[in-house]
Amino acid sequence: MKSILLIGLGRFGRHIAIQLNQLGHQVMAVDHDEERVNDIMGVVTNAQIGDSTNEAFLSSLGVKNFDVCIVAIANDFQSSLETTSLLKELGAKMVVSRAERDGQAKLLLRNGADEVVYPEKQVAKWAAIRYSADHILDYIELDETHSIFEVAVPEEWVGKTVGQIDIRKKYNVNIMAVKQNEKMNMEVTPNTVLTNDKTLLVLGEYKALQKCFRI
């Protein structure tokens, strides 16, 4: 369980708060809008109304005590940038800030953000990959070059074993797990038989995955 300071309770911030609550983390939520704060009270550990660009207010929250500070402010980049910078100046351990454009991401990283989340761009990339190929069921980007895909078993692989298709040798792609009836089996061996009612979780460089699964 982590202690998290969440600043900004618009749609994005609210969704983060809900997910963090479901994961069992302690969340202090902050927004300048009283209605937003009242709406989130039942979801988070604590919530306060305040201006995150005010150094005295931000300092009163004890930002050093949080494992992660998330700046989820939307539609006010100046406030997001000031808040990010102040958090770092006040000794925040980890600052994650939301960006809407590439230029914003660069400025946030230069001014205190340890990491930047780019929801629109990340979801757009996921949707483009997910829905442009019928056999791609899910997608997780690990870094600029590596990804995890959940894929349907290609027709030409049905009835064969993992050892027979040998995609590690041919494409440098690893089968991490086999999924069947919503159950994950991580014990994949060369003798695991692939059937058309299974899906595969595969890991590799994006270009290798593209070639292997004809994306």
Segment 164-201, tens digit of pLDDT = 999 988 889 999 999 988 888 889 899 999 998 999 99
Instruction: Give the distance from CA 38 to its chain's centroid.
Output: 26
C-beta contacts of 104-108 below 8 A and 24+ residues apart? 104/77, 104/80, 107/81, 108/80, 108/81, 108/84
**pTM confidence score:** 0.69
Radius of gyration for the alpha carbons in the chain, expressed in angstroms and rounded: 22
Q: List pLDDT tens digits, range 112-149.
A: 999 998 887 777 776 776 676 667 788 787 777 888 88
Q: List pLDDT tens digits, range 16-46.
A: 999 999 999 999 999 999 999 999 999 999 9
Instruction: Report the alpha-carbon distance of residue 200 to residue 202 in Å, rounded.
Output: 6
Q: Where are the domains of the chain?
A: 3-117, 122-213
For 122-213, CATH number?
Answer: 3.30.70.1450
Upper half-sphere CA count for residue 88 (Cβ side, 13 Å): 17
Say if CB 84 and CB 113 are below 8 A apart.
yes
Kindly list the distances between the CA atom of residue 85 and the CA atoms of 52, 80, 88, 173, in Å, as whole numbers in the listed order.
Answer: 11, 9, 5, 41
Average pLDDT over residues 4-14: 94
- Give the start-end residues of each E strand in 32-173: 46-49, 68-71, 95-98, 115-117, 136-141, 146-152
Helix (H, G, I), strand (E, B) or coil at 125: helix
For 3-117, CATH number?
Answer: 3.40.50.720
Q: List pLDDT tens digits, range 48-99.
A: 999 999 999 999 999 999 999 999 998 899 999 999 999 999 999 999 999 9
